[in-house]
């Protein structure tokens, strides 16, 4: 047990790596909610390393202290000490609690590595050293964008893999002729391969959108400090910190042209998330089609049995993989509404709702990345064509009559179809009469 002090007074802190600021936040936001996203914690640690190096180069931080901060922050990046981050993702204060938690944990790790006790902040201080030249208002949004780009690239890889798998099915099913349908009614013939080719094309558009949106989140407001004016940070620091972030991430990050705007306005999140929602929408459509085509009335494809489907109906198998990806779509739609409302709550020089924005923004990337992987491996890859059923439905359908419309005309074909339905004779037979 140790005593720590802040502007509100003293508080007993147990033998943990976080300090008084985090302890108060845990009391203030004591809800059973998901913890702060781990990728965000790692991204903040990246910012702290870049800031320590920039402050060292600018002559604002002792070299030994800077190196200790960098070493401690690197421990967070590789996933160590993650249990020290207990804060819920929803919190007041525009992300200050999360930033302070990282500051405190880094300071205490560094102190231990140097042979000192946790809480010896006169040697390494969470604010004066770890947070030097920084504000939550430029650290937090910069870290959100770094985490987003990392997740975006992982999502892009999974999207490419899904597109390829759909194209594989397009080739595999290229000779499986079936009934096309509009409004759940028989329409005109097509191949099952053509259907999967259309799915692949939709995902291809999503892939291109995802590829292009990285450039929308590369501009960061680091160096702007509290409101974008850069108060408390030297010109040298602002130059060096961006340079260090570029070097560390390889993401092509650039300082925003207008740091005040970049601190005030979060519309870029709405823009980017709308494209994630669009991708989820396309996945929902594909999954719904799979459920329909695999259902008993159609039976045109077979989905891999993944689990027993009923507690009372033995042998029943449900399309759980397709249902899974559809529910991800619903969740992302909810995230989109939350994010849009929160981004619209910016007031004057800051949007205080950044924690919930970060939570749903990063979550949507993760949901799509992981959901697509599961959908591809457990559903798409294992789909089988039921050629016999496809042929049977087509033979018993009026759809094939449409291929003769140029020869016989609309009205004559309509008469033949009515006669076929009345007599049970095939269209081809009636054409010969």
Catalytic residue annotation: 310
Rounded Cα distance between 423 and 369, Å, is 53
- Non-local (6+) Cβ contacts of 430 within 8 A are 416, 419, 420, 423
Report yes or no: 400 and 391 within 8 Å, Cβ to Cβ: no
Rounded Cα distance between 9 and 372, Å, is 49
List helix spans (H) across 302-382.
320-343, 354-378
DSSP label of 83:
G
DSSP label of 176:
-
Question: CA torsion angle for 170, 171, 172, 176 (degrees, to 10)?
Answer: 70
* Residue 301, SS3 per DSSP: strand
Report yes or no: 273 and 318 within 8 Å, Cβ to Cβ: no
| Helix (H) or strand (E) segment spanning residue 5 | strand 2-6
| Helix (H) or strand (E) segment spanning residue 6 | strand 2-6
Closest CA to 383 of 316, 321, 302, 305: 302
Instruction: Kindly write down the DSSP assignment for every residue of 387-415, as one continuous string.
Output: HHHHHHHHHTSSGGGGGGHHHH-HHHHHH
Rounded Cα distance between 103 and 107, Å, is 6
């Amino acid at each position: 047990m140790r005593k720590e002090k802040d502007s509100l007074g003293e508080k007993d802190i147990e033998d943990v790596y976080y300090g008084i600021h985090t302890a108060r936040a845990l009391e203030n936001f004591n809800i059973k909610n998901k913890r702060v996203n781990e990728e965000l914690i790692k991204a903040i640690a990246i910012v702290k390393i870049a800031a320590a190096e920039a402050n060292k180069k600018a002559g604002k931080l002792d070299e030994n202290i800077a190196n200790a901060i960098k070493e401690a922050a690197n421990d967070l990046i590789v996933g160590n000490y993650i249990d020290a981050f207990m804060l819920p993702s929803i919190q007041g204060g525009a992300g200050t609690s999360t930033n302070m938690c990282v500051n405190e944990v880094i300071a205490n790790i560094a102190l231990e590595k140097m042979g000192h006790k946790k809480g010896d902040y006169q040697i390494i201080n969470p604010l004066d050293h770890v947070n030097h030249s920084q504000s939550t208002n430029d650290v937090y949004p910069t870290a959100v964008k770094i985490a987003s780009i990392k997740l975006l690239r992982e999502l892009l890889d999974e999207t490419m893999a899904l597109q390829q798998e759909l194209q594989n099915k397009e080739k595999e099913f290229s000779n499986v002729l079936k009934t096309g349908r509009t409004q759940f009614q028989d329409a005109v013939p097509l191949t099952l391969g053509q259907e999967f080719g259309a799915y692949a094309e939709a995902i291809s558009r999503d892939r291109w959108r995802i590829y292009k949106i990285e450039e929308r989140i590369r501009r960061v407001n680091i160096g702007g400090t509290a409101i974008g004016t850069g108060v408390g940070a030297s010109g040298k620091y602002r130059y060096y910190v961006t340079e260090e972030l570029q070097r560390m991430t390889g993401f092509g990050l650039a300082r925003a042209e207008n740091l005040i705007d970049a601190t005030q306005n979060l519309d870029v999140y709405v823009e980017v998330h709308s494209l994630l929602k669009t991708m989820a929408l396309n996945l929902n459509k594909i999954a719904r089609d799979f459920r329909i085509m695999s259902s008993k009335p159609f039976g045109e494809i077979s989905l891999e049995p993944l689990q027993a489907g009923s507690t009372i109906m033995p042998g029943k198998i449900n399309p759980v993989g397709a249902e899974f990806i559809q529910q991800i779509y619903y969740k992302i739609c909810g995230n989109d509404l939350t994010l849009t409302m929160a981004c619209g709550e910016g007031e004057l020089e800051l949007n205080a709702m950044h924690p919930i924005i970060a939570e749903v923004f990063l979550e949507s990337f993760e949901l799509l990345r992981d959901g697509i992987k599961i959908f591809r491996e457990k559903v798409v890859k294992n789909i089988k064509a039921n050629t016999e059923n496809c042929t049977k439905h087509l033979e018993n359908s009026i759809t094939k009559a449409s291929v003769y419309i140029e020869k016989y005309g609309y009205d004559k074909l309509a008469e033949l179809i009515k006669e076929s339905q009345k007599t049970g004779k095939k269209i081809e037979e009636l054409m010969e009469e």
